[in-house]
Amino acid sequence: MTESEKMPITKPAVNADTYLDEDNPEIKPKVGTTVQEGWDAAEVLLKSEVTEFPTDFRFSEEPQLVKFLQDRPFATYEQHWIERPKGKKSFVCMGEGCPLCEILGDKPRGKFAFNVLVLSGEETKVQVLTAPPSLARQIKKAHDDERKGPIDKEFWEISRLGTGPQTQYTLNYVRGRDLAEEWKLSQETVTELVANAEPFTASEVVRETPRSELLEIARSLA
């Protein structure tokens, strides 16, 4: 190996020879790495442990303003709803060889997950909009529309009316220039919120149950 092919050695963060010196200014104590007492230390550690967990978008009859953060669903899967002793519970279908399909004969339903920034309501935050096939078709149609699409270009009002098989979803197009008049929102503020929004990934949102567990559930209900 020639000298030019050798990996470069980066400069260490501190000097090893003076690392243990009492007056070394390069050594800064890191709160939370040692045992401490009192609420001041607790608050610092609690703030450092804040993690953003996915929040499900809750549909309502009242239109809600959202911004799609991507031009496609970030997760597409099929889902079972199985009656359990404590009520119905959802399980992601594992496809071929799924015990819930083969043993129970349960038919899964398609789910389509989108990252949306919810701009109406008390708190502006990224939420996971899980659309059933009927709404997903509307979103895809809007996405393919030459005037309105792609779906992450502008803004959308979403509402839901009814329950069960009679459920109807409404998806209305909203131009960015109309935000101030229709929603009392500054486009500059919204642009900043969108730029700072962090979408979720499929691994953060969709939990796939091991086949052995699905098999146990299916056998207990068969």
| 44 and 94 Cβ atoms separated by less than 8 Å | no
DSSP state of 52: -
131 forms bridges with which residues in the sheet?
A: 112
pLDDT in tens, 16-49: 555 445 555 554 544 444 566 777 777 766 665 5
Which is nearest to 130 in space by CA: 188, 54, 184, 182? 54
Place of tokens 């501190």: 14
Q: Report percent pLDDT > 90 for the chain.
A: 68
Decide if 78 contacts 93 (C-beta within 8 A): yes
pLDDT at residue 208 is higher than 80: yes
User: Could you tell me the pTM of the whole model?
Assistant: 0.74
76 versus 35: which is more confidently predicted?
76
For 95-147, write each residue's pLDDT tens digit. Answer: 999 999 999 999 999 999 999 999 998 889 999 999 999 999 999 999 999 99
